[in-house]
Structure 1
Amino acid sequence: MLITHIYFNGNCKEAIELYKDALYAEVKTLIEDSDSGLIIHAEMIIHGELLMLNDFGNNDGISKSGGYQLCLQFENEDELKSAYSKMEFESITINPIQFTDYSPCTVRFEDRFGVNWAFWV
């Protein structure tokens, strides 16, 4: 099993709340540091897949989405557009919502936490 793990360096709680709202993600595990309130370890289920998150891990203190993106396939365009509309605030559009040869509706963007996403139907 291959599991993606993302470091948020202080924004993990905010990211969890956004993903719960936009993607109907389910939080399986949430361990918080009692002193700082930062997330030590969290696990979420998004579209049936496990994603691990926390606020620690990068030695340089920077969490950037270098060399990967999270891809989600939706059942229909309405579902995709609903999720994207909740996540697009302060995001950077890489490819706008569009028709392609492989999908009637797709969009690529970097969310406000620096995580790259690709949504398609």
Structure 2
Amino acid sequence: MLVTHIYFNGECKQAIKLYKQAFGATVQTLMEDSDQSLVVHAEIMIHNELLMVNDFGNNDGFSKSGGYQLSVQFDDEAALKKAYTIIKEGSTTIEPLQPTDFSPCTVRFIDKFDVRWAFWV
């Protein structure tokens, strides 16, 4: 099993909330620090796939963001557009919502948490 793990550096709760709205993600595990201000470890399910997230790790002097992309295949264009509408606020567009050779609807962007996404049908 290969599981993606993303560090949000203090914005993990906001990211989980957004992904729950956009994807109908469900929280499987949520562990917080003693004052409940930061997420120590969380596991969420997006489209039946596990994503691990927390607020620590990207400020260790070694980690650099970039070099990855989370890709989500939707069953239909309406579901894709609904998720994109929710998650696109504060994002940076890489490729706009459009048809391509391989999909009737696709979009690539970086969300407000600096997570790179590709959506397609």
TM-score bucket (shorter structure)? over 0.9
Counterpart position of 1:96: 96
2:79 aligned with 1:79: yes
8 Å Cα contact 1:11-1:55 kept in structure 2? yes
Aligned length: 120
Identity fraction in percent: 62
Q: CA deviation at 1:108?
A: 0.2
C-alpha separation in 2, matches of 1:97 and 1:30: 33
Q: CA deviation at 1:60?
A: 3.6
Counterpart AA for 1:110: I
Counterpart position of 2:8: 8
Q: CA deviation at 1:16?
A: 0.2
Q: CA deviation at 1:62?
A: 7.6
C-alpha RMSD of the superposition: 1.5
Deviations 1:68-107 (A, max 9, x none): 0000000111000000000000000000000100000000
**Runs of 4+ residues over 2 Å off in structure 1:** 60-64
Counterpart AA for 1:78: A
Deviations 1:30-67 (A, max 9, x none): 00001361000000000000000000012149873x10
Instruction: Quickly say closer, same or farther: Cα 1:22–1:68, change in 2 above 3 A.
Output: same
Counterpart position of 1:68: 68
Question: Structure 1 stretches of 5 or more lacking a match?
Answer: none
Counterpart AA for 2:102: Y
C-alpha separation in 1, matches of 2:12 and 2:64: 11
C-alpha separation in 2, matches of 1:105 and 1:5: 27
Counterpart position of 1:18: 18
Counterpart AA for 2:17: E
